[in-house]
Every structure is written in structure tokens, then in C-alpha cells.
Amino acid sequence: MPAAVGVIQTIGFPAVLAAADAMVKAGQVTLVYYGIAESGQFLVAIRGSNSEVQPAITAGVEAAEQVFGGTVVDYYIVPNPPENVVEVLPIEYTETVEQFRIP
């Protein structure tokens, strides 16, 4: 079963930290990417089964919005990303995150 991808983009680091923390606690997902978008915006991406990514993203958005000054710019879930998307974008399971991967 292909792993879904969920991404949350926030303004400010505390909000993205809260989102990442809430997501990995809310579902059996693996954090696969964190990066700086632009103008103080940050993003974090998770992978896992669609049934786990959905509630994890919901929890992440709620947590980010509870941070003082935290703003969720956008979030999105791709239930079944095609191989060419996985190969091109930084959403693949890497050696660094493989130890945390939940089967």
C-alpha cells in the first residue's frame, strides 16, 4: 500500500514544531521533511497510511493554531502520490528517517 503524504505550512517556527509534535503523536506516521519556505514560513511533511495521515494532519493544524502567534498558511494531503512525485520532491523515506518509520 503506497504511503500518503501530508504537509503543513506555518508562519513561525514554534507553530511548525507544535504541528510536527502533534502529528507524530496523533498517528502512526513518519516525519520525512522539514524546511523553510519563505518569509518566516516553515513546512513539515509526514508519510504513512491514508487512515493515519488524515487524523495526524488534523491534529497538527489544531496544534499549530494554538501556538501564540501561530498561523497555518496551508496544508494538504496526497493520498497516493505517483512514483515520479516521490522521486522528485523531498518526501521519500531517507536513511535518516528510516529508523523512525512505522510499517
In sequence order, the β-bridge partners of residue 77 are: 6
pLDDT given for residue 71 in this prediction: 93
User: In angstroms, rounded to a whole number, what is the distance separating the alpha carbons of residues 47 and 83?
Assistant: 14
Domain extents in the chain: 4-94
pLDDT in tens, 66-102: 999 889 999 999 998 888 888 888 888 888 888 887 7
pLDDT given for residue 60 in this prediction: 97
Has this prediction a pTM greater than 0.85? yes
DSSP structural state of residue 27: S
Mean pLDDT for the stretch of residues 12-38 = 94
Is the confidence at residue 1, as pLDDT, over 70?
A: no
pLDDT given for residue 95 in this prediction: 84
Alpha-helical (H) ranges within the chain are: 13-26, 50-66, 83-88, 95-98
pLDDT-derived band at 103, boundaries 50, 70, 90: low
- Using DSSP's 3-state secondary structure scheme, residue 38 falls into coil
Fold of 4-94: Alpha-Beta Plaits (3.30.70)
Taken in order 10, 16, 19, 24, is the CA torsion positive or negative?
A: positive
pLDDT in tens, 19-30: 999 999 999 999
User: In angstroms, rounded to a whole number, what is the distance separating the alpha carbons of residues 97 and 99?
Assistant: 5
pLDDT given for residue 94 in this prediction: 84
